[in-house]
Homo-oligomer: A and B are copies of this chain.
Amino acid sequence: MAAQLDFFLSYGSTYTYLAVMRLPGLAKAAGVEVVWRPFSLADLLAEAGFADGPFAPFPNKLAYMWRDLERRARKYGLPFTKRPNYPWPYKEAGLIAILAQKEGWVVPFSQQVYRAAFERGEVLGAPESLQAAIQSAGQEPARVMDVIAGAEIAGDWAANTEAAREHKIFGVPSFVVAGELFWGDDRIEDALDWATAKTTGEGR
């Protein structure tokens, strides 16, 4: 049985761009199965007293985030044509991704969503952008939008949010391997090493 990594994400996150683009290839090379678990980070932030998002109280950190993200994207050879308008609508992208995870098209859908924003400057999560991403993943938008409006996807969304709360997640992207939490795109490699037990006993 392949080792498993739970990928907790929100399509409202900037740094999640890097993880969405990098994790699938790195996980495949490591032989680790990734379960994408979109959830409501906004709910957890609101519970922590940060209803306006993680950067609102820190203007210097916000400015740094954009610069750091741009440097990192270039380092990894990822498109960074412009800074998309932020914040953007994102809950619907998460609901679609829950369905896509079940049906096996979450990677092309998610990469398309982020590429549209960072490569072409589209509003991430805008209806026409999501529709194009659904189509690029080989799916029919009308069917998808119908399914995600139902109770099953809403239940999965709530369950993922509760799981994130139990894992004490405070930001995204986050990765959980056998109960161990890793936060940030720059911890992907560590999380995969943990999953494949390259991390020695002492490191645990």
Contact = CB atoms under 8 A, between A and B. Distances in A.
A183 interface: yes
Contacts of A150: none
Contacts of A48: 57-58, 60
Contacts of A74: 202-203
Interface string A45-78: 0001110000001101101100110010011000
Given A61-B170, A74-B203, A168-B60, A186 B183 contact: no
Counting contact residues on chain A (CB < 8 A from B), the size range is 20 to 34
Given A64-B181, A67-B181, A75-B190, A58 B203 contact: no
Given A60-B169, A60-B170, A183 B71 contact: no
B170 A64 contact: yes
Contacts of A190: 71, 75
B64 A57 contact: no
A171 B57 CA distance: 14
Contacts of A61: 170-171
B68 A170 contact: no
How many copies of this chain? 2
B49 A57 contact: yes
A203 B76 CA distance: 10
Contact of A64 (B58, B168, B203): B168
A57 B48 CA distance: 8
Contact of A186 (B49, B64, B186): B186
Contacts of A68: 182-183, 187
Contacts of A49: 57
A203 B170 contact: no
Nearest to A174: B64
18 contacts: A48-B60, A49-B57, A50-B57, A60-B168, A60-B170, A61-B170, A63-B168, A64-B168, A64-B170, A64-B181, A64-B183, A68-B182, A68-B187, A71-B190, A71-B199, A74-B202, A74-B203, A75-B203
